[in-house]
Structure 1
Amino acid sequence: MIHAPRRVYGHFGEWMQGCLMPDGEVALITLPCRALWVQIETDGTANADSAMFPPDQLARFRHALRLGAAPWPRLSSNIPPGCGAGASSATLTALAYGAGFSGPPMDLAQACLDIEGATDPLMWPAPDAMIWASRSGRIVDTVPPPPPCVIVGGYWGAPERTDALDTEFPDISDLLTPWCAAARSGDLSSLGRLASISASRCTALRGPRDPMAELAEDLGALGVVRAHTGSARGLIFRPGSVPASSTAALEKAGLNGVFQFATGLA
């Protein structure tokens, strides 16, 4: 049993995402973002955002989690859909908690997966401490979470919703062992380099081209992160080292909704 939160946090793309060889399973290390959230409101009930999830899906979700006749909660959210920030996963997770779910995170993940086809591990307290297979809903392995850092990011181009049948991602098998070693030693510079490699491989294979590598060089960032499906793009900085000009630079380059947030091991 778990204590259900009143707010479910989203993510801002991924530290890395791609295929794991030899079987080609799509896996990721998510990038948690506490600046993006879905909140369970206490003043009234609603029909659970029927625009995002039709009634038949919600009925299936309710049955899978054995929620009985508990009403769906009213939600508020600041997560933009289609930006690679976990809007659908966070919404389903918040709906479940608001309707009384208090079971294991894996049960909730499997119920979300049944509705979404690909889900984010936002129901865990440390979603960046695992390699997550988003299309099969399993923990491939545990990893050390990254050390504290700051992301300055925004949204590049049009929203792009995740297609659960899309498995055209680059191989990242070679990045996981060095990622674990760098995270274990708190080597943020190496983590930034590895995240940049994952982002650049994704951009080369899937597009669209963006100005993030140039911005990272100009602003002295440690690396680049992106939503591997979605429009979120960001730069990685050490705490206290974000240039005052960074927001203006990203906006001038064409990113929308620029903001910054802290992430990593507290």
Structure 2
Amino acid sequence: MVFVAGHFGEWLQGRVGPAAQVALVTMACPAFGVRARRDDADGLAVAGGLIGPDRCGAFLDALGLPSRGWFHVAADLPPGGGAGMSTASLVALARAAGADEGRIAAACLSVEGATDPLMLSRPDAVLWAPRRAQVINDAPPPPEAEILGGFWGPMQRTDPADHDFPAIDDLVAAWMAGPDLPQAARLAARSARRTTALRGPSDDPTQAMARALGALGHARAHTGPARALIFAPGTVPPGAQAALESAGYSTCLRFRTGGRG
């Protein structure tokens, strides 16, 4: 059985550089992801509902592998939530099939059109171009944080043709300096606010929830409903998860992320 961790939104996402390409620093979510295994079979079948047989066949072809096997793929979180389940399912399937690691990113891009850096050993330590499935630059990993999150609003699949994101060159420059956790949380909150101002939803309560619960900042999936409150490890207040649930967030969860050790 192969496990590939997802992410939970992004610390930063927006347009960077003279070409205004979409770039991100993902918020790694090691506690939740996708599991996959492959059983021998003459034909091709996929169980779990995440990847259809046609897409699976095209993906295996992009990996240079035969379209054979019975694949079982199961996700911890719903697809379309901004938690990386689509990319994680492909990476898990590729590894279950014995794919060459060097071909996985390009193969994911060929069937998704936009892909998260979940095939990397440290996905949150790069500035990533999701529409090219390439590392733009190495980046300092985020400080260790504890995340309280949930989904607010409907699921939303990423449209690879969607480039309508705010400029974040200033935020990326500050991130590259290696911020401490309070600084990183503020940068994430600024990125989230810019995206919410540009793309909505206008009634997103996450910033207010972060303030009310004493979080250092908040983050969001810049496509999809994943929302994250950022705390120093061990400082999530009692009752905080219940408060999120009462405010309408679904699938509320907690996990640790980041760390520079």
| 2:88 corresponding residue in structure 1 | 90
Paired residues of 2:148 and 2:230 also in contact (CA < 8 A): yes
| TM-score where L is the length of structure 1 | 0.91
For residue 151 of structure 2, what is the amino acid of its counterpart?
Y
Instruction: Report deviation, 1:125.
Output: 1.2
Select the residue among 178, 188, 197 that pairs with 2:181: 188
Q: Quick one: distance in 2 between partners of 1:114 and 1:43?
A: 24
Q: Does 1:35 align with 2:31?
A: yes
Paired residues of 1:44 and 1:74 also in contact (CA < 8 A): no
1:80/1:180 Cα in 2 relative to 1: closer, same or farther (>3 Å)?
same
| 1:234 corresponding residue in structure 2 | 228
Q: Does 1:260 align with 2:254?
A: yes
| 2:3 corresponding residue in structure 1 | 7
Q: Does 1:63 align with 2:61?
A: yes
Stretch deviating more after TM superposition (110-119 or 15-24): 15-24
Q: Does 1:169 align with 2:162?
A: no
Identity %: 47
Q: Quick one: distance in 1 between partners of 2:228 and 2:30?
A: 15
For residue 127 of structure 1, what is the amino acid of its counterpart?
P
Paired residues of 1:86 and 1:120 also in contact (CA < 8 A): yes
RMSD (Å), alpha carbons = 1.8
Q: Quick one: distance in 2 between partners of 1:60 and 1:73?
A: 14
Q: Quick one: distance in 1 between partners of 2:16 and 2:59?
A: 29
For residue 249 of structure 2, what is the amino acid of its counterpart?
L
Paired residues of 1:224 and 1:234 also in contact (CA < 8 A): yes
For residue 236 of structure 1, what is the amino acid of its counterpart?
I
Q: Quick one: distance in 1 between partners of 2:161 and 2:233?
A: 38
Tell me the secondary structure at the aligned position of residue 92 of structure 2.
helix
CA offsets, 1:85-138, max 9 Å, x none?
Answer: 11110111111111111432xx21110001000000101110000000000111
Tell me the secondary structure at the aligned position of residue 58 of structure 1.
helix
Q: Does 1:224 align with 2:218?
A: yes
CA offsets, 1:161-180, max 9 Å, x none?
Answer: 10010000000111111112
1:235/1:262 Cα in 2 relative to 1: closer, same or farther (>3 Å)?
same
Paired residues of 1:155 and 1:256 also in contact (CA < 8 A): yes
CA offsets, 1:49-76, max 9 Å, x none?
Answer: 5854444432222122122355243122
Tell me the secondary structure at the aligned position of residue 210 of structure 2.
helix
| 1:215 corresponding residue in structure 2 | 209
1:42/1:70 Cα in 2 relative to 1: closer, same or farther (>3 Å)?
closer
Instruction: Report deviation, 1:154.
Output: 0.3
| 1:143 corresponding residue in structure 2 | 139
For residue 217 of structure 2, what is the amino acid of its counterpart?
G
Stretch deviating more after TM superposition (213-222 or 65-74): 65-74
Gapped runs of 5+ residues in structure 2?
none
Q: Quick one: distance in 1 between partners of 2:5 and 2:161?
A: 25
Size of the alignment, in residue pairs? 257
Q: Quick one: distance in 1 between partners of 2:132 and 2:38?
A: 33
| TM-score where L is the length of structure 2 | 0.93
Paired residues of 1:40 and 1:76 also in contact (CA < 8 A): yes
Instruction: Report deviation, 1:181.
Output: 1.4
CA offsets, 1:191-216, max 9 Å, x none?
Answer: 00000000000000001131111111
For residue 167 of structure 1, what is the amino acid of its counterpart?
H
| 2:13 corresponding residue in structure 1 | 17
Gapped runs of 5+ residues in structure 1?
none
Stretch deviating more after TM superposition (66-75 or 110-119): 66-75
Q: Quick one: distance in 1 between partners of 2:246 and 2:229?
A: 15
For residue 202 of structure 1, what is the amino acid of its counterpart?
T
